[in-house]
Amino acid sequence: MTVIQWYPGHMNKAKNQIQARLKLVDIVLEIRDARLPQSSRNPLLDQIIGNKPKIIILNKSDLADPKITQQWQAYYHRRQQPIVVIDAQHQAHLPMILTAIQERLATKITKYQASGVKNYTIRAMCLGIPNVGKSTILNKLAGKKIAVTGNRPGVTKNQNWIHTSHYLDVLDTPGVLWPKIDDQEVAIKLALSGAIKDSLLSSLDLANFAWGFWVQYYPQILEARYHLSATELNPNLNLMFEKITATNEAAGDIDQQARQIVQAVRQGSWGRFTLDRVTAND
Ligand SMILES: Nc1nc2c(ncn2[C@@H]2O[C@H](COP(=O)(O)OP(=O)(O)OP(=O)(O)O)[C@@H](O)[C@H]2O)c(=O)[nH]1
């Protein structure tokens, strides 16, 4: 996982690099974490890419709550925003990206075909915040391990095209944008999913948030894991420490317990989860 120290100068540099490369492509693949369909995006991205066609790829779907992923798919369908849900570790999921590109660029492709161009190439680039799986997706598209380099601030790279086995070329240099973390809740969600460094937030804050969230959305997991009855479960973690310390996995002082909770969430020991929710008004 890479964590970038993000300053306004860096942001501008990344923006300029991405904008320069945008001119080379027909379509943007915006990679997000399926556990955080909203928090793992940089809201500036749409401003940066303007009218360029875009497909959202919700990656790491194997870690997300499948019911909520379906709700997010419906949410973006309602907005006519193409979206693909994948687990990039599975090669078999990748054709879904190609299909979505074909659909999104159908008019362009039809034009090529009508004018007799047989060997047309569609060019794409991946964009996203750190750790969402950009390199993994590029490697899978390439069908081999390639040296993927993000546009780290201050580093100028030559870009190469990855020729996939189809009519699609993808830039081997993904655009990296820092997430918008001026909101404490977004920062906590990103830290719980491993997108930003632990040291940016206290484990206790993370554990408190996780506990409250699980009590609300996944209570059965906590009940089973910490041998609690439904009536014992309290959303306030401070009131629960004594009870959960009785289980092996959450022993030690409060800080230690908090760290264990965060680790358990990250490792998936608290099950699959989605921290961003579609609300009734969406
Ligand atoms: N479970 C799961 N893990 C994934 C998936 N895709 C990527 N990963 C893992 O997530 C971590 C980050 O993946 P990368 O491909 O390095 O992410 P990136 O966006 O290129 O990250 P930066 O280089 O920090 O910008 C790695 O440990 C991957 O193995 C997925 O679909 N499911």
Kindly report the protein residue whose alpha carbon is nearest to atom 5 of ligand 1.
Answer: 60
The domains located in the chain, with CATH, are 8-176 (3.40.50.300), 202-266 (no CATH)
Stated pTM of the model:
0.91
Rounded Cα gap, residues 263 and 270, in angstroms: 10
Q: Which long-range contacts (CB under 8 A, 24 or more apart) does 6-15 make?
A: 6/178, 9/153, 10/153, 10/154, 10/178, 11/44, 11/177, 11/178, 13/153, 13/154, 14/151, 14/153, 14/175, 14/176, 14/177, 14/178, 15/44, 15/48
User: Which residues are bridge partners to 125 per DSSP?
Assistant: 28
Pocket of ligand 1 (CB under 6 A): 1-2, 59-60, 62-63, 87-89, 128, 130-136, 150, 176
Each residue's pLDDT expressed in tens, for the chain with a length of 282 residues = 344 445 567 778 788 888 989 999 999 999 999 999 999 998 888 989 999 999 999 999 999 999 999 999 999 999 999 999 999 998 888 899 999 999 999 999 999 889 988 788 999 999 998 889 999 999 888 887 776 655 554 444 567 899 886 689 999 888 888 776 778 898 899 999 988 776 678 999 999 999 999 999 999 999 999 999 999 999 999 889 888 876 655 566 888 889 999 999 999 999 999 999 998 777
How much distance in Å is there from the Cα of 146 to the middle of ligand 1? 14
The residue nearest atom 8 of ligand 1, judged by CA position, is 133
From 86, 136, 146, 272, mutation site for ligand 1 pocket: most ligand atoms within 8 A of C-beta = 136
Cα-to-centroid distance, 132 and ligand 1 (Å):
5
Closest of 176, 173, 185 to residue 210, by C-alpha? 185
- ipTM surpasses 0.95: yes
Does residue 10 sit in helix, strand or coil?
helix
Please report, in range form, the residues annotated as the binding site for GTP. Answer: 59-62, 131-136, 175
